Structure 1
Amino acid sequence: MRITTAMEQQQFLYNLENINTAMQNVQEQLSTGKVLNLPQDDPVAVSKDMDLASEMSQISANLSTISSGLSWMNATQSAMQGMVTQLQQIQSNLLAAMNTSNQSSAGLQGYAETIAQLIQGVYQIADQTVGSRYLFGGQADNVAPTTYLKTSPNGTPQVIPPGAGPQSTPYNPFDDANASPPNVNEIIGNQVSIRVTVTAYDIFLTSPGGGPNLQDTLNDIQTDLQSGNTAGLKQDLTNLQANLNQVVNLNAALGARIQRMTAAQNQLTQYQTNLSNLKGGIEGADMAQVMTQFSTDQVIYEAALQMGAQILLPTLVSYLPS
């Protein structure tokens, strides 16, 4: 077959266009730092890159959930530690009232007033909030845990019996009818959830070993101090110790869940870093190699122009960039 001048010119222009396109692709890699800029660059690699991006997005959502849960749990733990301190002070005052010889009714009344203030402090902690949400409300975090408490004549907060309060009311965490108050569980992974709350029901209305709950114990302490019932105070001290141990155990269990949540956070963070590195390896460009390729393409392009000057009409070559 005879090779004509027109065929040579057509083939030259075709090759020159391919070289120019290749240079543009390499130049785009230099400017973006990525080898995957369009789906057609590498469909298989782009598909893997999209899967990794989706997985990283899910991990980011889980990490955000964990961070929020840990903030809530740490605030709850601090509040519970404050509650433990208040209960220990009640215990110390109660012990002092019992051990003081020839304790007068006025002396017991003084202890009663001191302990009343400490009890009020316990309930104030029970109503502690983060923003507008109550720490110990469980899923009913828009309702103050002591909303359904009333004050008896001796100043002791007491639980309104079930059915005695307003009928059209939201969930009452102090209502004995709510045997299983709803807690908040945060999902931190595939079918993995961790409880992040401690409810007021857990603290005040759960009886350790079948004995009086903390709410009843605090009420009994106030009543026995004001009536001078020293025999009753001895039992109150025993009950308070059991209730205090329960609160301490609740706080310890919360601490264990915080450790588990923190471990999950660390694992997910490391996994996210690994995925990020893998994703970068797929879509990231080797800049040294790209710069070398760009220099090579420039040399080839200039050589092609010089060759074209010999086979194309001078009038055409003169308009091409050098």
Structure 2
Amino acid sequence: MEQQQFLYNLENINTSMQNVQEQLSTGKVLNLPQDDPVAVSQDMDLAQEISQMGSDLSTISSGLSWMNATETALQGMLSQLQQIQSDLVAALNTPNQSAGGLAGYAATIRQLIQGVYQIADQKLGDRYLFGGQAWNVAPSSYIEGSATMPSGADQNVAYQIAPGVSINVTVTAYSIFESTPTGAVNLQTTLNNIVNHLESGDVTSLQGDLNDLNLNLTNVIDANADLGARIQRMTAAQNQMQQYQTNLTNLKGGIEGADMAQVMTQFSTDQVIYEAALQMGAQILLPSLVNYLPS
């Protein structure tokens, strides 16, 4: 009985040393499900939540890249349109403007308009920034050209950044060029009218074109402001998720992480106990009948 009890205790001490040694090598207290079933379940739930949070943050990062590129393009477009506005005002305010002078303004503004359409065709990767859901079709092909607008070109792309939460990340060329402000024609028609009236010398109609351009400029400025608001919302969501992910990671580390100082102390203590048990066992265990057999 003494031998059986001794071997049982020795095996327990040895098992404890092995567990502590595994904690030392992995830095974790949870290495097997049986170590702590409740804690292991909590740890797995946290790992799944952290993984989902990482996926959401990746989506947000992709959306912000798209929106920031779109904002830069919109600001370039606004700059070109404001230059067109400035040239048109100069043409109207120059007294006794000759047909040749108006034609010169027409040539300059035509180049600026081409620059506007080039910006509308900017890409991020292989996708057109202002293409909406028709991301693979150049917007100028149906805005400036005579091609039929493809399906989805007037619809925004929304990214889901959390369960039940989606944010539009696009500004469509349709909303810029085809959307008609109250009291004006759309931007595409306005730009065409400006060039035509300059080339024909129709100064009277140019004043109406300037009014239309001012209203369309306001429309583009509003679109840019709305995009900026969405960027702020997306950035705020990103910051909140990063903080939450950090908190979850710290909580997970607190559940599964080992206190290395305590583990090392426990390992040293187990070693001393194991060696003492071996020495004591050698002294107290009774000799067997074999010891009395003649040699």
Same fold at TM > 0.5: yes
Q: Percent identity over the alignment?
A: 72
Q: 1:94 Cα deviation (Å)? A: 0.5
Q: 1:8 Cα deviation (Å)? A: 1.1
User: Is this contact kept in 1: 2:80–2:115, CA < 8 A?
Assistant: yes
In structure 1, C-alpha distance between the alignment counterparts of 2:52 and 2:203, rounded to whole Å:
61
Question: What does the per-residue CA deviation read over 1:257-300, in whole Å, with 9 as the maximum and x for residues that have no partner?
Answer: 00000000000000000000000000000111111111111111
Q: Any idea what SS the aligned residue of 2:159 has?
A: strand
Q: 1:310 Cα deviation (Å)? A: 1.1
Give the structure with the larger helix fraction.
2
Letter in 2 for 1:131: G
Letter in 1 for 2:132: G
In structure 2, C-alpha distance between the alignment counterparts of 1:89 and 1:56, rounded to whole Å:
49
Question: What does the per-residue CA deviation read over 1:160-213, in whole Å, with 9 as the maximum and x for residues that have no partner?
Answer: 3xxxx57xx84373xxxxxxx221101011201111000001100001115211
Please, what TM-score do these two structures have when normalized by structure 2?
Answer: 0.94
In structure 2, C-alpha distance between the alignment counterparts of 1:202 and 1:31, rounded to whole Å:
60
Superposition pairs of residues 1-322 of structure 1, within 5 angstroms: 7-149=1-143, 157=144, 160=146, 165=147, 170-171=150-151, 173=153, 181-312=154-285
User: Is this contact kept in 1: 2:180–2:187, CA < 8 A?
Assistant: yes
Gap runs ≥5 in structure 1: 1-6, 150-156, 174-180, 316-322
Aligned length: 288
In structure 2, C-alpha distance between the alignment counterparts of 1:236 and 1:207, rounded to whole Å:
14
Gap runs ≥5 in structure 2: 289-295
User: Is this contact kept in 1: 2:132–2:152, CA < 8 A?
Assistant: no
Q: Any idea what SS the aligned residue of 1:188 has?
A: strand
User: Is this contact kept in 2: 1:9–1:311, CA < 8 A?
Assistant: no
Q: 1:311 Cα deviation (Å)? A: 3.2
User: Is this contact kept in 2: 1:148–1:172, CA < 8 A?
Assistant: no
Q: 1:105 Cα deviation (Å)? A: 0.4
In structure 1, C-alpha distance between the alignment counterparts of 2:280 and 2:238, rounded to whole Å:
62
How has the CA–CA distance of structure 1 residues 88 and 209 changed in structure 2, closer, same or farther, with 3 Å as cutoff?
Answer: same
Runs of 4+ in 1 over 6 A off after TM superposition: none
In structure 1, C-alpha distance between the alignment counterparts of 2:164 and 2:142, rounded to whole Å:
36
Question: What does the per-residue CA deviation read over 1:46-104, in whole Å, with 9 as the maximum and x for residues that have no partner?
Answer: 00000000000110000000000000000000000000000000001111111111111
Q: 1:313 Cα deviation (Å)? A: 7.0
